[in-house]
Chains A and B, each alone.
Chain A
Amino acid sequence: NAGVTQTPKFRVLKTGQSMTLLCAQDMNHEYMYWYRQDPGMGLRLIHYSVGEGTTAKGEVPDGYNVSRLKKQNFLLGLESAAPSQTSVYFCASSSLAGTPYEQFFGPGTRLTVL
């Protein structure tokens, strides 16, 4: 099992450009999450999904959109990137089975917006 994978690993954007980050999990987990991590701020929840076709806002959703068209994939979109969105983005998934609430994290995407 690959677990949780994220694409791309690094990206540099110019202000105003758009991009999509892809998260994929092969553990058949129901729940998926997108976080951003800034220095000294820990992780902050952007959006999350409790199942295919459903999404919900987290703590810092502004400037981001998400979609969960397939159970194994969770996409994070930036329509018009801003320097304030420079961060490391982590995707995570969890399941109701096994150990509920335990989140499995991907390796992260480092995004720089110039």
Chain B
Amino acid sequence: SQQGEEDPQALSIQEGENATMNCSYKTSINNLQWYRQNSGRGLVHLILIRSNEREKHSGRLRVTLDTSKKSSSLLITASRAADTASYFCATALSGTYKYIFGTGTRLKVLA
């Protein structure tokens, strides 16, 4: 399978805590993206980090990318119950639009 791997598969935290999830991928990439999926809904784009960037912030989100290890992490700070969702990383083979999604991390934030 070409799919990326994410860990943990599931994560349960208290409101206000930080949540960290990791993604590993297998190919050379131009960029890596993170998406959120609420139960029964389509995916929503969160943030994109290019292969020449090491860290990127957007609101309560912080993404890091280590191309030497082919891995990325997504940190959600000060989590809220509304952050409960599944989170997926996505990459495309360099020079293509063939996207590969990770298997996802199911995050549950307890109020």
A interface residues (Cβ-Cβ under 8 A, vs B): 4, 31, 33, 35, 40-45, 48, 50, 56, 58-59, 90, 92, 94, 99, 101-108
Contacts and interface: CB of A to CB of B under 8 A. Distances in A.
Q: Is the interface of A mostly helix, strand, loop or mixed?
A: strand
Given A31-B97, A42-B101, A59-B2, A104 B45 contact: yes
Given A58-B98, A103-B43, A105-B42, A43 B88 contact: yes
Contacts of A45: 98-100
B48 A101 contact: yes
Given A42-B3, A42-B88, A102-B48, A107 B98 contact: no
Contacts of A101: 30-31, 33, 48, 92
Contacts of A94: 97
B101 A90 contact: no
Interface residues of B, number: 25
A42 B102 contact: yes
A102 B98 contact: no
B19 to A, nearest CB: 19
Nearest to A88: B40
B103 interface: yes
Given A42-B3, A101-B33, A108 B100 contact: no
A105 B103 contact: no
B111 to A, nearest CB: 26
A15 B74 CA distance: 41
Contacts of A31: 97
Given A48-B97, A101-B48, A42 B104 contact: yes
